[in-house]
A and B are shown apart, each in its own frame.
Chain A
Amino acid sequence: MQTRRIRWHIVVFLAPAVLVYTGVMIFPLFNTLRLALFTEVDQTRVYVGIQNFRTLFFDPIWSEQFWNALGNNFWFFLIHMLVQNPIGIALAAILSHPRLRFAALYRSAIFIPTILSFVIVGFAWKLILSPLWGIAPSMLDAIGLKSLFAPWLGKEEYALTTLALVSVWQFVGIPMMLIYAALLSIPEEILEAGEIDGITGASAFWKIKLPLILPSIGIISILTFVGNFNAFDLIYVSQGALAGPDFSTDILGTFMYRTFFGFQLQLGDPHMGSAIAGAMFAIILVGVCIYLFGIQTRMRRYQL
């Protein structure tokens, strides 16, 4: 009779990742969710159940801010989906064209903003768009379109869209690279077979390449979704924690920061802040689940 040996090496190899991940991700996550169930009364922490969430969703003062931030978040996400990802795919398609010259140069140039810090991007764009010192007004002036210029970051109706486009500029390299890699992995034989059947040029892209890269597009969409709903940095750097003008650029991240840490005379409230963080977590979780179970499992995959 032989007892099965415990395979210690599995435990040993898993341990560092499991310990680190538990320590810095899983524990803080659940602790934050736990914190959301408490409130502070006279310097002592009191358990209040879901009261904080009820305040967040139904108290007019809080819910107005919450829905405003959530709506802005969806708009932020929508701009990325409608602008960043199509442009990323188009760029990848152009870059993968075998006869394009200087492809490596374009690839690096478009990808570089992705590795820049938010602080630099936010600051640089604020300067570019500044009505006082920016180059945007003088460039528009040079081509006779000065009338189109507006202090975009200071107008309620444009500020969020402008920031979303700045973020698109920064991150368009990511979908481009992922799609580019997917396009390169399509075997030549398939394209040649298509060519024999008379499918060339643009129709080769629509009929052969696009179906083959759909899983990558799905992954990019979900990365964009998670990234956008966790966004905070760019808004904070360029508009501050009050996400002006008049909260028109307020997203869940800045709303949570303001509530959790406090702002100017407003004192921080870790419990309400955690409740917002919990709501963000739930929204992202639901979004990812819809994708994983509703879309990814139904997507057709081709054996290459």
Chain B
Amino acid sequence: MKRKVLSLALMTTALVTSAYAQEATLTIESWRNDDLALWQEKIIPAFEAEHPGIKVIFSPSAPAEYNAVLNSKLEAGSAGDLITCRPFDASLALYESGHLTDLSDLEAMGNFSDVAKSAWQTDDASASFCVPMASVIHGFIYNKDAFNELGLEVPTTEAEFFVALDKIKEDGTYIPMAMGTNDQWEAATMGYNNIGPNYWKGEEGRQALIKGEQKLTDPQWVAPYATLAKWADYLGDGYEAQTYPDSQNLFTLGRAAIYPAGSWEIAGFNTQADFEMGAFKPPVQNAGDTCYISDHTDIGIGLNAASENQEAARTFLSWVASPEFASIFGNAVPGFFPLSNTPVELEDPLAKEIVGWRDECESTIRSTYQILSRGTPNLENETWGASVAAIKGTETPEALGQQLQDGLASWYAPHQ
């Protein structure tokens, strides 16, 4: 009798384990801890409903630590099955050291344009190793109530932009612009690379810089620093020690009128701010000039070569490449604009306004991301420091340009 019970118990265990064996659990590594709820509540359930055998866990780490954490996990073999890809070299290095799988044969990759795929390809474009998920667009988000109250027009040229800032400052109710230099990256990302494309004419300048035809000491690369230097007067007291979350809070609490932004802020701002928000694109120098926006391929997703669930992971990636995911993702995370060829109808008004700039302006990506940040000194990190120095006025724009150019020329052959 006892033996029968035991064997029965054993049999059931065997059955249960074999049933589990067909199921795969996929873990996603990501730096988007802000999106945790959206993944858990919208994206993952939608996928699991279609693919009952596969379970997905979204496991993000803090943005600033992501690269370091991910690299250590990959070396140790404890990383998740799916890797959220930073654009360009960080992911390229992972592919070259064999941590990411070549996904060129994934049928769904056909849903993306070459530009969208370029951020996650080898230099010769022979292998694609991440499925493009989304891009982010830079511009300025403003407090509509504040603008109405002060009777301000939305600026389109740089002169109008500074007139508006002067008026806000004169009135004194609002801090004209919410940005700090403590964390450094805002100055470069939301400052330099936000307004810069209008000066260096987007892709034209960026490509010329990569080829070595333009230098960082050329006026179109130095002038944005001169403009940033003028921002200091409008940033509010103690901006030197103001952190990124401080700036976000200043704006969403309604204490600042303009926020130099990336579109990724939209989701957070929608829940935090209780006033109406609008957005304007980086102002051009003269009315009627072609406008350029930074439409930066920012986030992709790849397959860990060491994953034990290759098949399930490919299924998930094909789904990520589908228009269905694009529409869920684009609406669940407003401000991360899907890159898929099928246009996605966005519901969020602010996101819709910003994505509309794609039709009016020329798109480019951040100037320092492709190839130019491969060596030491790292051009992106140097640009952070330079942008902060420009705002604080500790160096002249020309000196900053020279410093960056010297650093780049020290390792990058086309500039030597």
Contacts and interface: CB of A to CB of B under 8 A. Distances in A.
Interface string A78-116: 000000000000000000000000000000000000000
A266 B380 contact: yes
A291 interface: no
B373 A266 contact: yes
A137 B236 CA distance: 14
A152 B240 CA distance: 8
Contacts of B384: 242
Query: Which one of B183, B240, B380 has the greatest number of beta carbons of chain A within 10 Å?
Result: B240
Given A43-B97, A242-B184, A247-B385, A268 B71 contact: yes
B96 A265 contact: no
A262 B181 CA distance: 21
Main secondary structure of the interface of A (DSSP, over half): loop
B242 A262 contact: no
Nearest to A137: B238
Contacts of A130: 238, 241-242, 246
Contact of B378 (A126, A129, A265): A265
Contacts of B250: 132
Contacts of B89: 265, 267
A128 to B, nearest CB: 11
Contacts of B182: 153-154, 239, 244-245
B343 to A, nearest CB: 31
A137 B241 CA distance: 13
Interface residues of B, number: 45
Interface residues of A, number: 34
A264 B368 CA distance: 12
Contacts of B67: 261-264, 268
Contacts of A207: none
A126 B86 CA distance: 29
Contacts of A131: 237-239, 241-242
A54 interface: no
Contact of B376 (A61, A137, A151): A61
Contacts of A155: 240-241
Given A264-B381, A265-B369, A154 B238 contact: yes
Contact of A244 (B64, B183, B239, B394): B183
Interface in B208-259: 236-243, 246, 250
Contacts of B71: 261-262, 268
A111 to B, nearest CB: 29
B33 interface: no
B210 to A, nearest CB: 15
A265 B90 contact: yes
Interface string B140-182: 0000000000000000000000000000000000000000111
Given A132-B246, A267-B90, A268-B71, A245 B380 contact: no
Contacts of B373: 265-266
A83 B96 CA distance: 50
B64 A240 contact: yes
B242 A261 contact: no
B78 interface: no
Interface in A113-133: 126, 129-133
Contacts of B98: 43
B238 A151 contact: yes
B323 interface: no
Contacts of A262: 67-68, 71, 90
Given A129-B241, A261-B68, A265-B90, 15 more contacts: A43-B96, A61-B377, A62-B376, A130-B246, A132-B246, A151-B241, A242-B384, A244-B388, A245-B181, A257-B68, A264-B378, A264-B380, A265-B86, A265-B88, A266-B380
The 8 A-B residue pairs with the shortest CB-CB distance, nearest first, are A131-B238, A154-B240, A154-B241, A151-B241, A261-B68, A151-B238, A266-B378, A265-B373
Interface of A: 43, 61-62, 126, 129-133, 137, 150-156, 239-242, 244-247, 257, 261-268
19 contacts: A62-B376, A130-B242, A130-B246, A131-B238, A132-B237, A132-B238, A132-B246, A132-B250, A151-B237, A151-B241, A240-B64, A240-B184, A242-B184, A262-B67, A262-B68, A262-B90, A265-B89, A265-B380, A267-B90
